[in-house]
Amino acid sequence: MLSRTLLPLSFMLLVSLHVPAQSKSVAERLGFPANSKLLIVHADDLAVAHSVDSASFDALDKGAVTSASSC
């Protein structure tokens, strides 16, 4: 589980060291004011159980969640 978390974080850190600074914040690039606080909601563990799938697909259909992943 730890390696599942560390690998993406390590990759992001490595990439960020070689990417020039952005002139706009993430919030601005998404169309929000620069000082906005954003909440990212991700439906994890899709395909683990029927109840998880049902809730995840419902959230995706309603726009409450815009991304999901399976194990």
Residue 13 is assigned to a structural domain of this protein: no
Amino acid at 42: H
Band (pLDDT 50/70/90 cuts) for residue 6 is low
Q: Residue 36 CA to chain centroid, in angstroms?
A: 17
Query: Burial, 43: exposed, middle or buried (Cβ in 10 Å; 0-12, 13-18, 19+)?
Result: buried
Residue 62 is assigned to a structural domain of this protein: yes
Residue 29 is assigned to a structural domain of this protein: no
Phi-psi category of residue 63: left, alpha or beta, with phi > 0 → left and psi -120 to 50 → alpha: left
Q: What pLDDT score does 42 carry?
A: 86
Number of domains in the chain: 1
**pLDDT tens-place string over residues 16-71:** 666 566 688 889 999 999 999 998 888 888 888 998 899 999 999 999 998 888 87
Query: Which value, to the nearest 10 degrees, does the dihedral of the CA atoms of residues 63, 41, 57, 53 take?
Result: -170
Domain that holds residue 55: 38-71
